[in-house]
C-alpha cells in the first residue's frame, strides 16, 4: 500500500497530538495542526480509516492503528534523522532545519534510510533533543523535566526543547543556551516565576516562566 505525502502528514499530525497520551483527537485539532479546513479533514480521515491506518468514529475520533502508528513513526524517524544530518554535516543551525526536513521526510527509499542512519552513527536524539525512533519504531524515552520544575541549586543538563519554532530557537541562541549545556537555577522570582539561571557555570541569564517550561533538563 502506498501512502501519499498528504496522508503521511495527517498521520504525523495525529501522532503528534496523541502521543504519548490516549484519548479523543478531534478533527478541529488536526485541522489546526495542518493549517487545513476541518471540512477537508473529515474526508481525509475517512480515507485513512478505509485504508486501515486509523480507526475513526464519533466516540473516540481519530486513532492510529498499529499500521498507521508504524507509518507515522517512520516519517518522524526520517524527519529527525535528516535534521541531524543537516546540523551535523551541512552547517544548518537548529532553527533552520525544520522546513527542509519536512520535505526530506517524505523521500521513499529504505536503503537511503538505512544508510543515512549508519552514516550518522545511529543517533538517538535530534538537534532539538527529540528522540529518534529506532528502526523498529521504539522511541527512546527521556525522563526529563521542565526547567521550571527544578529547585534552585541543582546542576541540570539541557536535553531537549519543547518548542522547535525558529523564533524560540533563535532566542535560546541569543541567551547562549544550547543542547547539553549545564544549567543551575539560582533564583526563582515569586511574583512571575521567572528564573535567574547560571549557564555553563559562567554567565547568568533571566528566563521567563514560559521559556523555562520549554527547556527540558535532566
Question: Which residues contribute to the site for a second copy (CB under 8 A)?
Answer: 86, 89-92, 96, 99-100, 103-104, 107-109, 111-112, 115-116, 119
- 167-186 residues in contact with DNA (CB under 7 A) are none
62 backbone φψ class: left, alpha, beta (φ>0; ψ -120 to 50): beta
Whether residue 130 contacts residue 90, with contact meaning beta carbons closer than 8 Å, is answered with no
Strand partners, 183: 156, 199
Site for DNA contains 47 (CB under 7 A): yes
Site for DNA contains 45 (CB under 7 A): yes
| Neighbour-count burial for 85-110, b at 16+ CB within 10 Å, e otherwise | bbbeeeebebbbbbeebeebbeeeee
Nearer to a second copy, 8 or 96 (CB): 96
In the numeric block, the cell 517512520 is attached to 74
Nearer to DNA, 10 or 82 (CB): 10
Which one of a second copy, DNA, none is in contact with 162 (Cβ closer than 5 to 8 A by kind)?
Answer: none
Q: What is the DSSP string of 35-65?
A: T--HHHHHHHHHHHHHTTSEEEETTTEEEE-
The DSSP output letter for 137 is S
- 52-91 residues in contact with DNA (CB under 7 A) are 58, 61
CB of 112 to a second copy, least distance (A): 5
Which one of DNA, a second copy, none is in contact with 90 (Cβ closer than 5 to 8 A by kind)?
Answer: a second copy
CB of 170 to a second copy, least distance (A): 16
Q: Which of 20, 22, 23, 35 contacts DNA by CB under 7 A?
A: 35
Nearer to DNA, 26 or 201 (CB): 26
Handedness of CA 205, 211, 132, 137 (dihedral sign): positive
Nearer to DNA, 36 or 100 (CB): 36
Amino acid at each position: 500500500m502506498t501512502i501519499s505525502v498528504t496522508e503521511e502528514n495527517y498521520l504525523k499530525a495525529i501522532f503528534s497530538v496523541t502521543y504519548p497520551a490516549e484519548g479523543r483527537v478531534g478533527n478541529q485539532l488536526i485541522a489546526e495542526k495542518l493549517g487545513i479546513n476541518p471540512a477537508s479533514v473529515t474526508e481525509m480521515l475517512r480515507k485513512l480509516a478505509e485504508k486501515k491506518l486509523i480507526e475513526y468514529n464519533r466516540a473516540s475520533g481519530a486513532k492510529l492503528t498499529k499500521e498507521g502508528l508504524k507509518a507515522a513513526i517512520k516519517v518522524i524517524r526520517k524527519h529527525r534523522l535528516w535534521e541531524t544530518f543537516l546540523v551535523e554535516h551541512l552547517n544548518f543551525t537548529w532553527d533552520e532545519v525544520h522546513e527542509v526536513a519536512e520535505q526530506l521526510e517524505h523521500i521513499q527509499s529504505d536503503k537511503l534510510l538505512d544508510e543515512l542512519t549508519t552514516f550518522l552513527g545511529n543517533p538517538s536524539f535530534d538537534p532539538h533533543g527529540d528522540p529518534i525512533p529506532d528502526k523498529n519504531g521504539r522511541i527512546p524515552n527521556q525522563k526529563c523535566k521542565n526547567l521550571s520544575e527544578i529547585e534552585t541549586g541543582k546542576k541540570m543538563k539541557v536535553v531537549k526543547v519543547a518548542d522547535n519554532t525558529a523564533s524560540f530557537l533563535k532566542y535560546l541562541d541569543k541567551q547562549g543556551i544550547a543542547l547539553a549545556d549545564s544549567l543551575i537555577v539560582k533564583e526563582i522570582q515569586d511574583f512571575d516565576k521567572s528564573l535567574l539561571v547560571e549557564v555553563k557555570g559562567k554567565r547568568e541569564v533571566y528566563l521567563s516562566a514560559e521559556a523555562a517550561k520549554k527547556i527540558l533538563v535532566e
